């Protein structure tokens, strides 16, 4: 289910919030230029947050969403990943 229409499964988001420090560390390892400030998420400002990550990493927003989705769900066949949607 995706109640907030952000193309990330809600159960994935809830798991992510529980493991956020771990995920922030993984994101900083993947994209070394990211800081804690870059990874600070403000509720309701997801588009701005993904735009900031896109600007800092040089990766497309869908690639970033895919990475987060795969990291949170632990699988590459998650139907909610942008690259798996038809």
pTM assigned to the model: 0.64
Report the C-alpha gap between 66 and 78 in whole angstroms: 9
List of E strands, the chain? none
- Tens-digit pLDDT profile for the chain (86 aa)? 555 566 666 666 666 566 777 788 889 999 999 999 999 888 788 899 999 999 999 999 999 999 988 877 665 565 554 455 54
Beta-carbon contacts of 27 under 8 Å, excluding residues fewer than 6 positions away, are 34, 39, 67, 68
Contact 26, 71 (CB under 8 A): yes
Please tell us whether the domain made up of 10-84 is placed in CATH 1.10.1470. yes
pLDDT number for residue 42: 82
Confidence (pLDDT) at 56: 95
Length of the chain: 86
Please tell me the predicted confidence (pLDDT) of residue 43.
79
């Amino acid at each position: 289910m995706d109640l907030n229409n952000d193309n990330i499964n809600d159960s994935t988001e809830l798991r992510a919030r529980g493991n956020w420090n771990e995920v922030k560390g993984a994101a900083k390892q993947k994209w070394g230029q990211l800081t804690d400030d870059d990874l600070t998420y403000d509720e309701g400002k997801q588009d701005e947050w993904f735009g900031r990550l896109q600007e800092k990493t040089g990766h497309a927003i869908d690639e970033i969403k895919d990475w987060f989705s795969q990291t949170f769900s632990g699988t590459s066949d998650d139907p909610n990943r942008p690259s798996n949607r038809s």
